[in-house]
Structure 1
Amino acid sequence: MSEPLPRADDLSATWKFVEPGLELILGSDVSPKMYMSVYTAIYNYCINKSRATQQQDAEVQRLNGNNNMNTQGSLLIGGQIYSKLNNYLAQYVQSLTKRPDESFLQFYVRTWQRYTIGAGYLNNIFDYMNRYWVQKERSDGKRHIYDVNTLCLLKWREDMFRKNVDTLINEILEQIQLQRLNKVDSSNDLSIAIKSFVSLGFDSNDLKKTNLSVYMNDFEKKFLELTREFYLNESNVFLQNNNVVDYMRKAEARLAEENSRANLILDEHTKKPLADVLNEVLIDKHAEAMYAAFPTLLDQNQLEDIHRMYSLLQRVPPTLEPLLQQFEEYIKREGLKAIEELKEEASKISSSSSSNGAKKAGAIDPKLYVRTIIDVYKRFVNTVNVSFKKNGLFVKSLDNASHEFINKNAIATPTPRSQSKTPELLAKYSDTLLKRKAKDSDSTSDMSVDDLMTVFKFINDKDAFETHYRRLLARRLIFNQAATDGEEEAVIQRLKQENSLEYTSKMTKMFQDMQASQELRSAFRDRALEDGSKDIVPDFTMYVLAETMWPFSAWKYPFKLPKELLPTQEKFEQMYNEKHSGRQLKWIWNHCRGEVKANIAKQGKPPFILSMSVFQMAIILPFNDRDTYSFEELLDITDLSSEYLEASIAPLVKFKLLNQKPAAPEFINKPNTKFTVVSEYRSKKMRVKFDYPLKIESKLESSDTQREIDEDRKNFIQACIVRIMKARKMLNHSALINEVIQQAHSRFNPTVSDIKKCIDILIEKEYLNRVDGDSYEYLA
């Protein structure tokens, strides 16, 4: 473009000069010289006609004292240029032709790319018109007037896109289908074409505002419909010929592909509806098939595939609920099955060993019981952690299932009306764990406080566990069987953290009593040394226990303490009464133990040390005076009941410290049956244990334990009722029942009938008064 610039006031000459340049700008490379020539010609024309008018206006405004320049004249020039440009752009776009060797999509992308570059140049060339005339026209409400860049897009939309929209969209969708079938790889043309749809949608009222009307209406709807149809067919066919695990892998891969495609070629707006379509046809419609495969995956512990299923289903939150229910039911079944197998195994072992009377039929080892529970629980904790990534919903399902099978199973509740034995078995587990063990013993190597606390968390009757645990703790303390005080206190601290300070208050007081008893023993020994008493048992160890804190009852039946122990007892009572006036000592003889030195070993060997209950000591010590006593004579000497005497003497006969005549077991409690101490005791051990638990004691302890649990529950419910009514003053029956259940839930699950009984008791005690038949009022 070397010809001279046209006259500034000649529109025809100016447009004739500019038009060839416009074609070069839109269709090929732009030289700086040509660009500046076209820009100058348009600029000169736009400002030429208004220059004289502006000078006249300026002179008038100066004489009037107004220095504000008005460019109204120049703003009116742009209309003719704008009209010619509009017509030219329409003709240019219509003149574009497709090459024989290219598809319409390729043609569209090739011409669109160059056209949009040219549109940018044109926008700069017509900058003066954009800034003045276009801006003025649009401010006057003429929304059909656009800046040159937008005008270029409008012409493209009208004369290229609209006339060929079906062909273009079909080719794009066809290319996407070929990509899904792995027949083509390139996405560049698709990305450019689809992004052009976004550019072609603009808001005539606000040209800067994004408008996706073209993209959504012309492309997105058809794309989503095609996607639904494609994946619906593919998923149905795939599942007919492959298993669910392979299908999940396929679905996972497809979702990743579509996500990658969306990032490369689609607008952000499509990602959400595309995900919804994929979730519907790939996941929701085939969720039932996944549910059916879920138990098998759990059986085989296929954690990776379970995670894959979870990852898919969590994309559609409603589909997780059936999976959660399945997971919970499966854990229950596995827990119940494991415990049923344990019970059957225990029955077989008990049956095979019943000939020697070592075990009661169906006896359950608490360690194996808790171990079975923990193994099931840890298995599914691992599943939750690895496959479900610690999702709170699945953690809750695991907890719910654990509550069920831990509290109600073939061992815990063998009959529907049985109370759960899990608290008792867990307490016995803790007893085994915390008892002093031999140095070379590995019997508790697979036991831990963590396992104890895990099961404790799930038991419903925490009050029952506390009662059983406290009784066993009491035995460990008074019989010096606890491994260390530190371990015991650490467990109590964790129980307190899991429940409450009140929950462990009695246990804490028990340790305080043990410390006070130790100080009292030291004082007694010092007193005995000062008095020079030779008839005092030097190793006498007593425990003074608070009656309301310890799970023991004072001995209520006749018993004569051996004369060898009487001076020690009397001396201690004298000292205690001097120190604590008004307190009453009650002896718990059935829990007293001692050691007896017996010179009945083979000549040259040291004496035996016999560990006995105080009842057995009362039986054996008289044999210092005579070698033989009848059962009737021993009854008179000990003042024990026939039942207790029989139970106490049986181990002495069984382990051949005493010879019975007649020897048959059925004669042991006959008045004339004779018992003779052996002259030479035969045992490989020099320390021999005779103080085995008595069956009669075990029965009494079991009934006492249940009685204590029932009494504590009754008192707790009454306290809850009084506390609630004191705060509320008046409450109807249903509300009171619900609040009591809620408050008691952390300790046990009270029955409605138990709560009603407690309400009646409080009415009798005049704490409450029944009002209007269905409500209660608190009586201050």
Structure 2
Amino acid sequence: MPSPMPPMPNKDDSTGTWTYLQAGVDRIMADLREGIDMKTYMGLYTAIHNFCTHQKAVQGSSGGFTTGGSHSRGGAHLLGEDLYNHLIEYLKTHLSQVLEASKAHTDEALLTFYIKEWNRYTMAGQYNNHLFRYLNRHWVKREMDEGKKNIYDIYTLHLVRWKEDMFLATQENVMKAVLRLVEKQRNGETIEQAQIKSVVDSFVSLGLDESDTQKTTLDVYKEFFEQPFLDATAAYYKEESRRFLAENSVVDYMKKAEARLEEEKERVPLYLLDDIMSPLMKACETVLIADHSQALREEFQLLLDQDRIDDLARMYRLLARIPNGLDPLRTRFENHVRKAGLSAIEKVATDDLEPKVYVEALLEVHTQYQDLVNKAFTGESEFVRSLDNACREFVNRNKICKSGSTKSPELLAKYTDALLKKSGAKMSEEDDMEKKQSEIMTIFKYIEDKDVFQKFYSRMLAKRLVNTNSASDDAETSMIAKLKDACGFEYTNKLQRMFQDMQISKDLNSAFKEWQGGNLDDEDRKNAVDASYHILGTGFWPLNPPTTPFAPPQVIVKTYERFNNFYGSKHSGRKLTWLWQLCKGEIRANYLKVPGSKASPIFQVSTYQMAILLLFNDTDSLSYEDIQEATKLDAATLDPSVAVCLKAKVLTISPDNAKPGPGTTFNLNHGYKNKKLKLNLNIGIKSEQKQEVEDTHKTIEEDRKLLMQSAIVRIMKSRKKMKHQQLVSETIKQISSRFTPKVADIKKCIDILLEKEYLERLEGEDADLGYLA
């Protein structure tokens, strides 16, 4: 049972009043479980009110008297201060006893004692704060309003005294106990987490803002809890990581480090403040990752070589946590991919390397490491950049494609041509074509000499359109659209115009057939050759006139003269140039029958072969000179044209085993047999193909000179004056999207423009070169 309260004191009796109040405060401070009855509580509250407000004169320090009042600086003021100081001394005495009692406890027992006393003390503080409410409202408020230091409301006073008289003397031992508990938990033991949470809350409560006692700061918590906690954490993991790495593999260590980091992250919401998350993670990352980053990076190459994606992903996640942790990995990754690409090309390199084999080798390396970047490095932009740098290097500079060579774009264009041509092996789905085109664009983006690809692609597209052997118009337009997205309208402008010409030609052929119906008699219509024509704009199609003289057969002459007349009637002033090397047709061999059929075989031939074979309508045997005289073809065209017929045994040659040439005779083979209804004799001549490649490269060189000159003039026209070196740099910048120019070539172009007086050399000026309008 609590001891009985003393009688209510006289309001003039300072000593009696405090004795009365102390008995009540004792009851509050000692044991709250019994509580205070309302009568006692009201008696205490009334005593404080009376003591602070009575009007009796109080003797001043000068020996005179002043009249106290509730709004004066006299007696009420002095009495409030007296009561406040009594309470301070009481709290000091109480806390000295608590401090002394704490010395009998250590470790978890100390934590239990500290938390119990803290909870009892702060609860008592709340009761006392309410009990001394009148003192807070008047005397304390007035003192604080007047700027007095070290004056607090009663509850804050309790916290201040705890900090000064209890906390500072015990915090070191309390923190040691806390840290030992945390270490136990890190070692796998179960602990009472609520104890640490209570300690954290108590440290936070002691962070008083001196400028505004109504606010709290984290200063005390950060100094006395957070910093020791971080230091202990770093020390623990520094030792653990050193020992673990000495006895285990790097891969096992990474798993351990990742697990530890996750544990620490999960620990924060359990009993720590959220504010500690960032510094705690940083401290752990320093000792677990940064201090061992060299060991991790040395393992990187081995993981790459073995394609261990999961372990690479783990290494990425760890090193991504520390500043500049990934930079060395990106460099090593780039070198690794570059070597892998060079090695892949070296394995397939031959003198007559197929475009398909070459492109698929490039794609295989890119696909493998693109997949690795996505899975292991989460598609991070800097690793993507490293992959791109490596791919750009081995695509443009490898065993097949030496430094500065244009072989890669040429082979990619040929691969694209093969894909877009009609083939017996149909795509299983449209998606396959889309996928293949996307793969082409993947390699295309790495090609530096995009103008080379454009030249070869446009020539091959022209042949596909003219020979009507595109896989589909949709596939062609889709490919052009992808190139346009990558390089802009100018890059594909001519390609699109070529398509437009083909559509116009379709309409023109329909109109021509209608015209023939109304302008030819029955005999002419019966003997007319069924022909179609492509009208190709000279400025858009990369086609050259024939390189050989040619006398077409009379039946062909009559056919194209009719079309000339028709076209001239619709477009006066336009001249048609016939590209005989691109023309083809079909002729029926009426002197033969397909075995097992009454039908005669059909030969698919070039116009040159057609002219040769039609000569055999009048005779079964012709000399080389006869054919040459009749067709006017040069030997470079005639020889391979008849060679195909000889190989197919449509013709035979005398003397036997001779090569086509002067002195040889060609005979129509009446004994020819072939089960096929159609036989293709229109086979490309390798020498012509080789010459075409050489011509294309020459065209590229000429176009590059013009492109560089136009860029130089454009730059100088806008700048008027420039330093020579600045002009070179600006020119490279402007045309690098099409190809990578050599500085020597740019200088030659500048010299050409100086000779042509587009530019001039300046003397006594800041600029080396000037623009001449």
Aligned to 1:391: 380
1:319 Cα deviation (Å)?
Answer: 0.8
Q: Quick one: which of 365, 375, 379 aligns to 2:368?
A: 379
Residue 143 (structure 2) aligns with = 137
Is 2:679 the partner of 1:649?
Answer: no
How does the TM-score come out when normalised to structure 2? Answer: 0.91
Aligned partners of 1:49, 1:243: CA distance in 2, in Å?
76
Q: Which residue of 1 aligns with 2:252?
A: 246
Distance 1:69 1:80, change over 3 A: closer
Amino acid at match of 1:156: W
Deviations 1:550-570 (A, max 9, x none): 111111432111222121122
Q: How far apart in 1 are the matches of 2:504 and 2:320? A: 60
Deviation at 1:32, TM superposition (A): 5.6
Distance change in 2, residues 1:40/1:436 (3 Å): farther
Secondary structure of 1:675 counterpart: strand
Q: Once the 2 structures are TM-superposed, how far is the Cα of residue 605 of structure 1 from its aligned partner?
A: 2.6
Structure 1 distance, partners of 2:46, 2:375, is: 71
Paired residue for 1:584, among 567, 575, 587?
Answer: 575
2:21 pairs with 11, 18, 23, which one? 18
Which one of the candidate residues 172, 175, 193 is aligned to 1:169? 175
How far apart, in 1, do the equivalents of 2:636 and 2:361 lie?
Answer: 39
Structure 1 unmatched ranges of 5 or more: 55-67, 348-361
2:422 counterpart (420, 426, 436): 436
The superposition leaves residues 345-381 of structure 1 with CA deviations (integer Å, 9 ceiling, x where unpaired) of xx4xxxxxxxxxxxxxx32232232223223222222
- Is the contact made by 1:628 and 1:675 (CA closer than 8 Å) also made in structure 2? yes
Q: Determine the structure 1 residue equivalent to 2:71.
A: 70
Alpha carbons of structure 1 residues 217 and 382: separation in structure 2 relative to 1, 3 Å: same
2:466 corresponds in structure 1 to: 478
| Offset at residue 268 of structure 1 (A) | 4.0
Specify which of 278, 283, 292 is matched with residue 286 of structure 1.
292
> What does residue 351 of structure 1 align with?
none
Work out the CA distance in 2 between the residues paired with 1:498 and 1:379. 23
For 2:326, which of 281, 302, 320 is the aligned residue? 320
Q: CA deviation at 1:705?
A: 0.9
- Counterpart-to-counterpart distance in 2, 1:259 and 1:420: 55
Q: Bigger CA drift: 27-36 or 372-381?
A: 27-36
**Matching residue of 1:208:** 214
Change (3 A) 1:233 1:33: closer
Q: CA deviation at 1:519?
A: 2.5
CA distance in 2, matches of 1:775, 1:450: 46
Q: Distance in 2 between matches of 1:441 and 1:152?
A: 85
Aligned to 1:528: 516
State the shift of 1:502 in Å: 0.8
Q: Report deviation, 1:124.
A: 1.5
Whole-angstrom CA distance in 2 between matches of 1:690 and 1:709: 32
Encode CA deviations 1:389-411: one digit per residue, 9 max, x unaligned.
22222222222222222222223
Equivalent in 74, 79, 82 of residue 80 of structure 1: 82
Q: Among the aligned pairs, what percent are the same residue?
A: 39
Measure the CA separation in 2 of the matches of 1:476 and 1:617.
Answer: 21
Q: Which residue of 1 aligns with 2:626?
A: 633
For the 8 Å contact 1:657–1:681, the answer to whether it is kept is yes
Q: How does 1:51-200 map to 2 (within 5 A)?
A: 51-52=54-55, 70=71, 72=73, 74-96=76-98, 97-98=101-102, 103-200=109-206
Distance in 2 between residues matched to 1:35 and 1:474, nearest whole Å: 106
**Among 488, 493, 505, the residue aligned to 2:493:** 505
Matched residue, 2:760: 769
Aligned to 2:476: 488
Q: In 1, are the aligned partners of 2:359 and 2:412 still within 8 Å (CA)? A: yes
Alignment-derived partner of residue 449 in structure 1 = 437
State whether residues 9 and 47 of structure 2, in contact with CA within 8 Å, keep that contact through their aligned partners in structure 1: no
More deviation in 682-691 or 580-589? 580-589
Which whole-Å deviations, capped at 9, do the CAs of 1:452-483 have from their partners, x for residues lacking one?
Answer: 22222221111111111111111110101012
Distance of 1:298 and 1:35 partners within structure 2: 79
C-alpha contact 1:303 1:387 (8 A) present in aligned 2: yes
Higher mean alpha-carbon deviation, 220-229 vs 561-570, is at 220-229
Conservation of the 8 A alpha-carbon contact between 2:501 and 2:537: yes
Equivalent residue in structure 2 for 1:703, among 691, 694, 698: 694
Deviations 1:146-203 (A, max 9, x none): 2222221222222222223332222222222222212343222122123322222323
Deviation at 1:214, TM superposition (A): 2.9
Q: Alpha-carbon deviation of 1:85?
A: 0.8
Contact 1:109–1:193 (8 Å) recurs in 2: yes
Please state how far the C-alpha of 1:254 moved relative to its aligned partner: 1.0
TM-score, with structure 1 as normaliser: 0.90
Q: Distance in 2 between matches of 1:537 and 1:594?
A: 14
Give the counterpart letter for 1:437 in structure 2: S
Contact 1:537 1:565 in 2 (8 A): no
Q: Secondary structure at the match of 1:171?
A: helix
* Residue pair 1:536, 1:567 contacting (<8 A) in 2 also: no
Aligned residues: 745
Give deviations 1:496-542, integer Å, cap 9, x for gaps. 11211111110111111112222222333333332223586432122
Which residue of the partner structure matches residue 615 of structure 2?
622
Q: Secondary structure at the match of 1:583?
A: coil
Determine helix, strand or coil for the equivalent of 2:340: helix
Q: What SS class does the counterpart of residue 289 from structure 2 fall into?
A: helix
Q: In structure 2, how many angstroms separate the alpha carbons of the residues matched to 1:535 and 1:703?
A: 44
Contact preservation (8 Å) 2:11, 2:54: no
Q: Is the 8 A contact 1:408 1:420 kept in 2?
A: no
For the residue of structure 1 that corresponds to 2:238, the secondary structure is helix
CA deviation vs aligned residue, 1:291-312 (integer Å, no higher than 9, x gap): 2222333344333322222221
User: What is the letter of the counterpart of residue 701 of structure 2?
Assistant: D
Q: In 2, Cα distance between the equivalents of 1:752 and 1:440?
A: 47
Measured in 2, the distance between the counterparts of 1:159 and 1:566 equals: 120
Distance, in Å, in 1 between the alignment partners of 2:276 and 2:202 is: 15
Distance 1:255 1:24, change over 3 A: farther
1:301 aligns with 2:307: yes
Label 1:365 to 1:696 Cα distance change in 2 as closer, same or farther (>3 A): closer
Structure 1 letter corresponding to 2:467? F
Q: 650-659 or 716-725, which moves further after superposition?
A: 716-725
Given that 1:492 and 1:504 are in contact with CA atoms closer than 8 Å, whether structure 2 keeps it comes out as yes
1:693 matched to 2:684: yes
The answer to whether the aligner puts 1:406 opposite 2:407 as a matched pair is: no
1:453 aligned counterpart, secondary structure = helix
Contact 1:721 1:740 in 2 (8 A): yes
User: Following superposition of structure 1 onto structure 2, how do residues 655-670 of structure 1 map, counting pairs within 5 Å?
Assistant: 655-664=648-657, 667-670=658-661
Q: Distance in 1 between matches of 2:753 and 2:218?
A: 74
**What's the RMSD between the two structures over aligned residues?**
2.5
Q: Is the 8 A contact 1:6 1:41 kept in 2?
A: no
The aligned runs of 1:41-60 (5 Å cut-off) are 41-48=44-51, 50-52=53-55
